[in-house]
């Protein structure tokens, strides 16, 4: 690093990016233009590879290996954030798609994980902090019964998984687990807006549609129905990771300073077209 960069970094506030996969790396690269980065992932090897790449590009990156489904691990992340703050941005990107795990693990990573991270980092939020949680278009594809919603609303409760099976009436499939977990993540960001607002901080979710990432490619391979979704997307293509990074950058910035408690769909119009099918012809 040259001297100018060494002087520049300490002045920058901190952006925490949870999840160093395809989208996480694109988001970190973008946020790293204006922030010091604290990057975290459960996969230490992947984490260090991404961090090394971003450092080679001149960005300031520290890393913490963290399993977001583990309370102690998330507490360790919060300690690292407190030491390196002030916390300006939290971009929570980590998640598992239906092809990646069984339904219980998907529920843990996609719902218990964000719940633990939001709870652990809220005390570090201050005026101007923005938290962005990556949900999914899947959050919007079907209604979730009130009975199931009531269980999803408290994912840290004892016997959460058993209560969920009872409320739903049977074991979930991985796809249903993905839909339920992302649906509840959107609601978390709505409900938590009050608590974050008390600190003059913001929390939102962002729901990507079909995005060209390794995860997206895996789902195209395993779920042929995604080709129908692509055909119904008004913009007639997948989105790119940089288009998600652009939206995250905006939501994280002061230009979005009155935006909280919302879900931003970045889906090329697919959700709208599925609600108004005649307009997709």
**Do 234 and 263 form a contact (C-beta atoms < 8 A)?**
no
Six-digit token pair at 179? 């839909």
- Residue with smaller CB distance to ligand NAD, 49 or 150: 49
Q: Sort residue 110 into left (φ over 0), alpha (ψ -120 to 50) or beta.
A: alpha
- Residue with smaller CB distance to ligand NAD, 126 or 223: 223
**Do 260 and 199 form a contact (C-beta atoms < 8 A)?**
no
For residues 18 and 81, what is the distance between their CA atoms, to the nearest angstrom?
A: 12
- Residue with smaller CB distance to ligand NAD, 94 or 264: 94
Residue 48: asked if its preceding bond is cis (omega within 30°), the reply is no
Q: What is the dihedral of CA 51, 56, 57, 63, to 10 degrees?
A: 20
Percent helix, strand, coil in the chain (nearest 5)?
A: 55, 15, 30
Q: How far is the CB of 100 from ligand NAD (least distance, A)?
A: 7
- Residue with smaller CB distance to ligand NAD, 46 or 187: 46
Q: How far is the CB of 93 from ligand NAD (least distance, A)?
A: 5
Taking Cα atoms as reference points, which of 124, 43, 113, 114 lies closest to residue 79? 124
Q: Is 183 in the site for ligand NAD (CB under 6 A)?
A: no
Q: Kindly write out the interface string for residues 48-67 of this chain, putting x where it contacts ligand NAD by CB under 6 A and - elsewhere.
A: ------------------xx
Which of 97, 175, 183, 233 is in the footprint of ligand NAD by CB under 6 A? 97
Q: Is 206 in the site for ligand NAD (CB under 6 A)?
A: no
Which of 14, 64, 78, 95 is in the footprint of ligand NAD by CB under 6 A? 95
CA 54 to chain centre: 20
Q: Is 252 in the site for ligand NAD (CB under 6 A)?
A: no
Phi, psi of 236 (to 5 degrees): 55, 40
Q: Could you tell me which stretch among 144-152, 153-161, 208-216, 256-264 binds ligand NAD (CB under 6 A)?
A: 208-216
Which of 155, 174, 208, 268 is in the footprint of ligand NAD by CB under 6 A? 208
Q: Count residues binding ligand NAD (CB under 6 A).
A: 30
Residue ranges with strand state E in the chain: 14-18, 36-41, 61-65, 87-92, 130-134, 202-208, 263-266
Q: How far is the CB of 249 from ligand NAD (least distance, A)?
A: 16
Which of 51, 112, 172, 210 is in the footprint of ligand NAD by CB under 6 A? 210
The residue whose Cβ lies closest to ligand NAD is 21
Taking Cα atoms as reference points, which of 26, 32, 116 lies closest to residue 66? 116
Which of 213, 248, 251, 270 is in the footprint of ligand NAD by CB under 6 A? 213
Could you give the C-alpha distances from 122 to 32, 86, 136, 182, 212, in angstroms and in order? 21, 12, 22, 20, 31
- Residue with smaller CB distance to ligand NAD, 86 or 243: 243
Q: How far is the CB of 280 from ligand NAD (least distance, A)?
A: 19
Tell me which residues touch ligand NAD (CB under 6 A).
19-24, 41-43, 46, 66-69, 93-97, 109, 113, 134, 136, 208, 210-211, 213-216
């Amino acid at each position: 690093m040259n001297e100018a960069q060494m002087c520049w970094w300490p002045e920058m506030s901190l952006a925490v990016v949870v999840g160093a996969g395809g989208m996480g790396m694109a988001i970190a690269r973008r946020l790293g233009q204006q922030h010091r980065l604290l990057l975290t992932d459960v996969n230490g090897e992947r984490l260090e590879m991404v961090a090394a790449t971003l450092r080679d590009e001149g960005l300031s990156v520290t890393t913490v290996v963290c399993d977001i489904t583990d309370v102690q691990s998330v507490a360790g992340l919060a300690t690292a954030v407190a030491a390196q703050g002030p916390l300006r941005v939290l971009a929570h990107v980590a998640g598992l798609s239906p092809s990646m795990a069984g339904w219980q693990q998907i529920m843990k990573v996609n719902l218990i994980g964000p719940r633990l991270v939001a709870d652990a980092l809220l005390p570090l939020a201050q005026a101007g902090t923005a938290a962005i949680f990556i949900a999914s278009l899947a959050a919007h594809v079907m209604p979730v019964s009130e009975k199931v919603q009531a269980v999803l609303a408290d994912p840290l409760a004892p016997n959460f998984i058993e209560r969920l099976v009872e409320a739903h009436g049977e074991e979930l499939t991985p796809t249903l687990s993905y839909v339920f977990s992302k649906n509840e993540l959107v609601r978390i960001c709505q409900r938590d807006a009050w608590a974050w607002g008390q600190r003059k901080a913001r929390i939102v979710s962002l729901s990507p549609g079909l995005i060209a990432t390794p995860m997206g490619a895996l789902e195209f391979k395993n779920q042929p129905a995604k080709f129908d979704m692509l055909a119904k997307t008004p913009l007639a293509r997948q989105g790119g990771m940089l288009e998600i990074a652009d939206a995250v950058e905006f939501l994280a910035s002061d230009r979005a300073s009155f935006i909280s408690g919302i879900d931003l769909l970045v889906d090329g119009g697919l959700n709208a077209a599925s609600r108004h099918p005649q307009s997709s012809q």
